[in-house]
Structure 1
Amino acid sequence: MIYTSYRFFKIVVLFLLVSVVANAQVQQEIPPPYHIKTVSFRKNNENVYPYFRKGESFQLTFDDLYGNEANYYYSITHCNYNWTPSSQLTINDYISGFDNQRIQIYENSFNTLQIYSHYTLTIPNQFTRLLLSGNYILKILDEDREVVFTRRFIVYEELVSVPLQIKRARGMDEINEKHNLDFSIKSSTINFQMPLQNVKVALFQNGRFDNAIYNVKPQYTIGNDLIYRYDKETQFWAGNEYLFFDNKDVRNAVNNVLRITAGEVYNNILYVNEARANVPYTYFPDINGKFLVNNINLNVTNVAVEADYAWIFFSLSAPAYYSKKDIYVCGMFNNYAKTEENRMEYNEKTATYEKAIMIKQGFTNYMYIPSDKNGVLDEKNAPDGNFFQTENDYTILVYYRENNDRYDRVIGIGSANSENIIN
């Protein structure tokens, strides 16, 4: 009897430990399958970085190339600063209403070669309103409540100011290749408790999560101001201006499109991109990785469902060094996902890297990102190089958890552009 009770006790303890470990897992973004395209957060009819002021309205939109009006559902989980679920919160703490609802707004494509269903989820909506600031993971589920894909987003409050200045790197080896973020956190309403432990920051370049910087502590304080003036810890590789193609007229070869061929959908073959790492920096405007869906046909009234898809053929001429690396075509259009769908293949006959990706027509920024076989980025050796003159958007989000709080609040945001870089 005692032995049986002991076994039961061990099983219960093991179950609780497994539950704790599962809840503590970092919530990574799960890329969508092939038939889900053009996933984007939107605000005021524009594609935007995934940071939203508490209480403001935004949308998540995506296309399903099956075009069969499938039922999709959504769930939302609040996360800690390190993207583990906020285990001390219940769903009622951060959601007014409930999630696990069907996405009710969808339309079918019209007058396109590639059929698709276009879905729009608006937050807040009649079922769901977010109550707290912080990190969130949004899961899109199918009819069987299996996860189709996930996306991170961040809700912030404006309780502190975050003055930010972009500077050139301090080290002579990196002065021409990196951007350094010099910033502070100022508040007249919050007296920070134990700021070295309770205040955290996250630094972002062009809305990317894959190269974000975390776990930087305040260097020192002046009164209640927290000062961050590091030489190394807050630096990003500057990269180069994004490449682009413009196929808002999907049947015309213009704006970096070399030629068009016909198929089930149009094939847009781009000019070969020459690696720019060893040539002088050349400025040309970009939109920092974003994309704009567009169709200039005179009869189009709603590009969300009247823009077509095309196969985009990318080619990169780069040194043989990269044959030992994986190179991906990335941008906001695919959330910088390092997946097989976006990984380039080396053509020994032409000595170029090649990839065809189906993308919705319009104006699209993209870049080439190398990584090792373990998925670790190699931005230092990016095919297009790193130049301090590159114009990038930078964002800093400030997290704060007082000693008795149960979750990490996001209490402020700061942003700047490296166009105004100083020495």
Structure 2
Amino acid sequence: MINNYRIPLVFLFVLFIHQISQAQAETETPPPYNIKTISFVQNNQNIIPLIQLGDSFQLQFDDLFGNEANYYYVIQHCDYDWKPSQLSKGEYLQGFDNQRIRTYENSFNTLQLYSHYTLSIPNPQTQGLIVTGNYVIKILNEDQTVVFSRKFIVFQDEVSVPVQVKRSRTIENINEMQNLDFAVKSQTLQFQTPLTNVKVLLMKNGQISTGITNIRPQYTIGNDLIYKYNTETQFFGGNEYLYVETKDIRSPNSTVSYVTAGEIYVSNLYTNEARANKPYTYFPDIDGNFLVNLTNVTANVNLEADYTWVAFSLSAPAYFGKKDIYVSGMFNNYSLTPEFKMDYNADKALYEKSILIKQGFTNFCYTIADKNGRIDEKNAVDGNFYQTENNYFVVVYYRANNERYDRVIGKGVASSVDIIN
């Protein structure tokens, strides 16, 4: 009997292509209040999420409920624009995901109880990632609901990417902005239609969310791609990060004015003043990163470090009623959520916010944004200075004409310490 309802293969193919084109870009899901101190880790150090193919790494976090809850993980491969790629799970992942995180321990000798989770890649269930590209790792609860997610990038060194940080080439921004000159060079790859097939991501201090994208090569010399733009590759310099040190949770120091005791300690910081109209002053920072640490640790700092309420205060009355101000850094993934939005105390003429932060050394900055979360870098609370020390990353993507996903073929790194005119 002839089946008159058979769907033509051409129609199925068109439908598949349409579904791929309609896929939405992956965004990072911020964690709930009880999830803290999320970090990518290599060699016991927090890292920005840029990992070489074949290298092992960990995702670590704390659950303040401390009830040894079950969490699961799912890994999604994405294209350059963070939309899910056409690759099936088996094409980018060796082994299985959607597995329970099996390594967790409870804190001890702390006022704030928590469970510390460590997801290692590779592990017995997930032997490793097979291809380079953009990735999103999602942490799920027992109901398979996403608790939080984080982006990371896996690269392979197939090209060299020399980068030079220069002062802005526009007179109106010469004292505020830093510009990237860079090239993409290869002795082995012969780029096919590089204007469309080669893409880059430019990041300041490893922040994917504020990166510059969709910059084409300005011109080519042989097989070298040259990028020497005047405005398209500029970043506002910002200012050096501020910091809080709480490794001795009971004692004041150069950043903590006084400590009050309660169910857990409260570290009251000295009031910061907006630095936009002050001269630039250099002091070393760790480019927004944080270090969990405490004095007299006897075993595992990740389990013995306590949490403290850190009470921030900022004198910036000129910003009142204009836009929102947030406390941000790698410790909270530069999140612009209500948990980190400062409140204005009219009686003191100060912005204030208390945030629960794990003991150690934490870089932070004050970020100004509108109600829609658009950051206003030009009018930064602490100003913009070309002298500011920032680390820059250039990530290079390539998809040949016959390939189905965007490979990450190299990265370049430069510091504005070496800035030139």
Q: TM-score range by the shorter chain?
A: over 0.9
Query: 2:284 matched to which residue of 1?
Result: 285
Mapped partners of 1:22, 1:294: distance in 2: 46
Mapped partners of 2:160, 2:56: distance in 1: 22
Q: Does 1:185 align with 2:184?
A: yes
Summarize the alignment of residues 10-409 of structure 1 with structure 2, pairs less than 5 Å apart.
Answer: 20=19, 24-86=23-85, 88-128=86-126, 129-296=128-295, 298-409=296-407
Distance 1:19 1:122, change over 3 A: farther
* Contact 2:244-2:363 at 8 Å conserved across structures: yes
Query: 1:410 matched to which residue of 2?
Result: 408
* Contact 1:169-1:175 at 8 Å conserved across structures: yes
Q: TM-score scaled by structure 1?
A: 0.95
Distance 1:224 1:282, change over 3 A: same
Unpaired runs of 5+ residues, structure 2, are none
Q: TM-score scaled by structure 2?
A: 0.95
Specify the SS of the correspondent of 1:395: strand
Deviation, 1:77, is 0.3
Deviation, 1:349, is 1.0
Amino acid of the residue matched to residue 126 of structure 1? P
Deviation, 1:22, is 9.2
* Contact 1:184-1:226 at 8 Å conserved across structures: yes
Deviation, 1:180, is 0.2
Deviation, 1:113, is 0.1
Amino acid of the residue matched to residue 145 of structure 1? Q
Mapped partners of 2:281, 2:339: distance in 1: 30
* Contact 1:323-1:346 at 8 Å conserved across structures: no
Mapped partners of 1:142, 1:155: distance in 2: 25
Specify the SS of the correspondent of 1:197: helix
Amino acid of the residue matched to residue 51 of structure 1? L
Specify the SS of the correspondent of 1:239: coil
Deviation, 1:322, is 4.2
Specify the SS of the correspondent of 2:36: strand
Mapped partners of 2:321, 2:22: distance in 1: 39
Specify the SS of the correspondent of 1:138: strand
Mapped partners of 2:370, 2:112: distance in 1: 35
Specify the SS of the correspondent of 1:259: strand
Specify the SS of the correspondent of 2:356: strand
* Contact 1:311-1:358 at 8 Å conserved across structures: yes
Mapped partners of 2:250, 2:153: distance in 1: 39
Amino acid of the residue matched to residue 336 of structure 1? Y
Deviation string for 1:189-243 (max 9, x for gaps)?
Answer: 0000000000000000011122110000000000000000000000000000000
Distance 1:120 1:159, change over 3 A: same
* Contact 1:161-1:412 at 8 Å conserved across structures: yes
Deviation string for 1:256-301 (max 9, x for gaps)?
Answer: 00110011110000000000000000011100000000011x2532
Deviation string for 1:54-98 (max 9, x for gaps)?
Answer: 000110000000000000000000000000000x21000000111
Specify the SS of the correspondent of 2:203: strand
Amino acid of the residue matched to residue 275 of structure 1? A
Specify the SS of the correspondent of 1:249: coil
* Contact 2:320-2:344 at 8 Å conserved across structures: no
Amino acid of the residue matched to residue 236 of structure 1? F
Specify the SS of the correspondent of 2:173: coil
* Contact 2:297-2:304 at 8 Å conserved across structures: no
Q: Give the aligned CA root-mean-square deviation in angstroms.
A: 1.8
Deviation, 1:373, is 1.1
Amino acid of the residue matched to residue 120 of structure 1? T
Unpaired runs of 5+ residues, structure 1, are none
Deviation string for 1:291-314 (max 9, x for gaps)?
Answer: 000011x25321100000000001
Mapped partners of 1:188, 1:18: distance in 2: 35
Mapped partners of 1:214, 1:335: distance in 2: 20
Mapped partners of 1:351, 1:21: distance in 2: 52
Deviation, 1:319, is 3.3
Deviation, 1:320, is 2.5
Deviation, 1:156, is 0.1
**Farther off after superposition, 160-169 or 339-348:** 339-348
Distance 1:219 1:116, change over 3 A: same
Mapped partners of 2:254, 2:220: distance in 1: 50
* Contact 1:23-1:85 at 8 Å conserved across structures: no
Amino acid of the residue matched to residue 238 of structure 2? G
Identity of aligned residues (%): 61
Specify the SS of the correspondent of 2:172: coil
Mapped partners of 2:350, 2:292: distance in 1: 28
Mapped partners of 2:403, 2:320: distance in 1: 48
Mapped partners of 2:132, 2:17: distance in 1: 28
Amino acid of the residue matched to residue 58 of structure 2? Q
Distance 1:163 1:340, change over 3 A: same
